[in-house]
């Protein structure tokens, strides 16, 4: 891949999802990402399934989702020979990504001070579950645990029934925040000539997107609650039943509400519906009135009418429908790569596009240790006098 980060070398020592997702984002931007894995089994997500695919039924689609545009080298970091190779790689790298528990890298001989000694320009991204310090610093964390601890589950799902978000959103947000932290640190390095440590966590990444749920408590003193498929502050704004399924309607301002009311034959000036505050206070009543009309016709009927009226609305697609949708394809959100075992496969694509960098070809997630020889040869070339 060619992109804004072409020439940047990233060592991906991370496993599972948060760190690998950050590294994949940097690879999408053109960085040369070298994934460092243990010789026995590698990244544990290689064993996470179902589903597994391939002739032997042993290739994890989970792993495929977050490791494109990388090379894989196997090193035992507890072995002196593995530590020696990693030391050489660190000297040549621009970025190192790790999501070990706090203290693990220190015990392996790669403390923050040692990394700075080896390469003062190195940017280190460290992702933990709940932070590297504080009363619970170093506590192990997986996505669903973090979703619960960080309050996300309490505002997701039907009222009184905490639900996890479908995707591993705490992991993914930590990866996204980590990648943007790395980009900032690389920019700062251009000014100072020195790298540094960027830290984030699953906890921080979820709390950092609380947005209005956060200020509902910190400013208004109200504990947010789950609202199911309806907005916690705006009405009407959510999912509504039609004769053959559900659609979503988002009346984000008074103009939208006037149009929705006109379409459904509701008087928008009634006292209980006159303002958003009034509508939210009478939301259950309003939803009932709207669905009484909406269930008289199909989803397509109402989506057409709402589109003509200029009201934001949409269907609720299944994942397979998303990847068959022309709009998804037009945005480069499905990319094809040539996997050495599976052949051509489709992967969820990168979220950023740069007008001055035309879309390039992506590489498939690597087999374990597939690039051992190539990476070592590259390393020798970088070290040559």
**pLDDT surpasses 80 at 1:** no
49 and 175 together in one domain: yes
Mean of pLDDT values over 339-359: 93
What is the bridge-based pairing of β-strands 32-37 and 9-12?
parallel
Among the candidates 317, 335, 356, a domain finishes at 317
- pLDDT tens digits, residue range 64-95? 999 999 999 999 999 999 999 999 999 999 99
| Residue 139 counted as domain residue | yes
**pLDDT score recorded for residue 17:** 97
CB 249 within 8 A of CB 315: no
**pLDDT score recorded for residue 2:** 86
279 and 204 together in one domain: no
307 and 171 together in one domain: no
**pLDDT score recorded for residue 183:** 98
Residue 178 CA to residue 43 CA, distance in Å, equals 19
118 and 247 together in one domain: no
DSSP class per residue in 42-90: -SGGGG--S-EETTTT-EEHHHHTT--SEEEEE--TTSHHHHHHHHHHH
- Residue range(s) defining the domain that contains residue 102: 9-209+326-383
| Residue 219 counted as domain residue | no
Q: 301-309: long-range contacts (C-beta < 8 A, 24 or more apart)?
A: 301/242, 302/242, 302/247, 303/247, 305/263, 306/247, 306/249, 306/260, 306/263, 309/259, 309/260, 309/262, 309/263
- pLDDT tens digits, residue range 25-68? 999 999 999 999 999 999 999 999 999 999 999 999 999 999 99
| Residue 243 counted as domain residue | yes
Mean of pLDDT values over 133-139: 91
Residue 274 CA to residue 77 CA, distance in Å, equals 65
Q: Angle formed by the axes of helices 80-92 and 372-383, to 10°? A: 60
**pLDDT surpasses 90 at 187:** yes
**pLDDT score recorded for residue 359:** 80
Where residue 384 falls among pLDDT bands split at 50, 70, 90? confident
Sheet holding 32-37, edge to edge: 70-74, 32-37, 9-12, 95-98, 123-128, 196-201
Mean of pLDDT values over 351-358: 90
**pLDDT surpasses 80 at 269:** yes
**pLDDT score recorded for residue 96:** 98
**pLDDT surpasses 80 at 128:** yes
What is the bridge-based pairing of β-strands 245-250 and 313-315?
antiparallel
| Residue 229 counted as domain residue | no
137 and 34 together in one domain: yes
Asked if omega into 348 is within 30° of 0 (cis), the reply is no
**pLDDT score recorded for residue 53:** 97
47 and 134 together in one domain: yes
| Residue 16 counted as domain residue | yes
| Residue 271 counted as domain residue | yes
243 and 197 together in one domain: no
- Whether 320 is catalytic is no
DSSP class per residue in 131-167: -SSSTTTT----HHHHHHHTTTGGGSSSTT-----SS
Whether the CA torsion 26, 130, 169, 99 is positive or negative: it is positive
Mean of pLDDT values over 142-149: 96
We report the CATH number of the domain holding residue 270 as: 3.30.1540.10
Running DSSP on this structure, what letter comes out for residue 230? B
Residue 59 CA to residue 381 CA, distance in Å, equals 33
**pLDDT score recorded for residue 192:** 97
Mean of pLDDT values over 118-147: 95
**pLDDT score recorded for residue 138:** 84
Mean of pLDDT values over 278-305: 97
294 and 349 together in one domain: no
Q: How many CB atoms are located within 10 Å of the residue 42 CB?
A: 20
Among the candidates 278, 294, 317, a domain finishes at 317
Query: Strands, E, within 212-333: which ranges?
Result: 237-242, 245-250, 313-315
- Short-list 299, 170, 317, 323, CA closest to 246: 299
**pLDDT score recorded for residue 196:** 97
Residue 137 CA to residue 144 CA, distance in Å, equals 18
Among the candidates 317, 338, 365, a domain finishes at 317
| Residue 298 counted as domain residue | yes
Question: How big, in percent rounded to 5, are the helix, strand and coil portions of the chain?
Answer: 40, 15, 45
40 and 63 together in one domain: yes
What is the rounded (10 degree) CA torsion for 268, 236, 227, 296?
100
336 and 260 together in one domain: no
Average pLDDT, the chain: 96
Mean of pLDDT values over 246-259: 96
Where residue 360 falls among pLDDT bands split at 50, 70, 90? confident
Residue 232 CA to residue 34 CA, distance in Å, equals 43
**pLDDT surpasses 90 at 385:** no
**pLDDT score recorded for residue 377:** 96
| Residue 232 counted as domain residue | no
Place of tokens 């000297």: 91
Query: What is the number of structural domains in the chain?
Result: 2
330 and 299 together in one domain: no
CB contact set of 261 (below 8 Å; sequence gap of 6+): 267, 268, 273
We report the CATH number of the domain holding residue 332 as: 3.40.50.10540
Catalytic pick among 28, 32, 171, 371: 171
156 and 16 together in one domain: yes
Residue 272 CA to residue 151 CA, distance in Å, equals 32
- Cα radius of gyration rounded to whole Å, the chain: 25
């Amino acid at each position: 891949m060619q992109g804004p980060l072409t020439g940047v070398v990233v060592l991906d020592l991370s496993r599972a999802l948060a760190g690998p997702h950050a590294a994949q984002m940097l690879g999408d931007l053109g960085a040369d990402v070298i994934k460092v894995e243990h010789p026995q089994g590698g990244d544990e997500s290689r064993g996470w399934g179902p589903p597994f695919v391939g002739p032997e039924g042993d290739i994890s689609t989970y792993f495929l989702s977050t490791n494109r545009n990388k090379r894989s080298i196997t090193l035992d970091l507890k072995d002196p020979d593995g530590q020696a190779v990693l030391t050489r790689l660190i000297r040549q790298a621009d970025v190192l990504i790790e999501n070990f528990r706090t203290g693990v890298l220190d015990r392996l001989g790669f403390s923050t001070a040692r990394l700075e000694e080896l390469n003062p320009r190195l940017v280190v991204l460290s992702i933990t579950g709940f932070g590297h310090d504080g009363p619970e610093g170093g506590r192990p964390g997986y996505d669903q645990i973090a979703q619960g601890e960080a309050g996300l589950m309490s505002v997701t799902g039907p009222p009184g029934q905490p639900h996890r978000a479908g995707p591993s959103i705490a992991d993914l947000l930590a990866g996204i925040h980590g990648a943007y932290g790395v980009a900032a640190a690389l920019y700062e390095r251009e000014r100072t000539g020195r790298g540094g440590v960027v830290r984030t966590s699953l906890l921080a990444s979820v709390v950092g997107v609380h947005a209005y749920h956060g200020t509902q408590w910190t400013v208004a003193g109200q504990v947010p609650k789950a609202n199911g498929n309806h907005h916690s502050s705006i009405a009407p704004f959510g999912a509504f039943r039609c004769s053959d399924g559900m659609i979503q309607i988002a009346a984000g301002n008074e103009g939208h509400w006037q149009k929705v009311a006109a379409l459904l034959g509701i008087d928008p000036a009634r006292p209980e519906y006159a303002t958003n505050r009034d509508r939210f206070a009478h939301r259950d009543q309003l939803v009932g009135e709207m669905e009484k009309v909406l269930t008289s016709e199909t989803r397509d009927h109402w989506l057409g009418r709402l589109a003509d009226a200029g009201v934001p609305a949409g269907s609720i697609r299944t994942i397979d429908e998303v990847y068959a949708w022309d709009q998804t394809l037009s945005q480069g959100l499905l990319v094809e790569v040539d996997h050495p075992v599976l052949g051509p496969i489709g992967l969820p694509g990168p979220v950023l596009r740069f007008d001055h960098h035309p879309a390039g070809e992506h590489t498939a997630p690597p087999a374990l240790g597939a690039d051992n020889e190539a990476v070592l040869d590259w390393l020798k070339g970088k070290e040559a006098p």
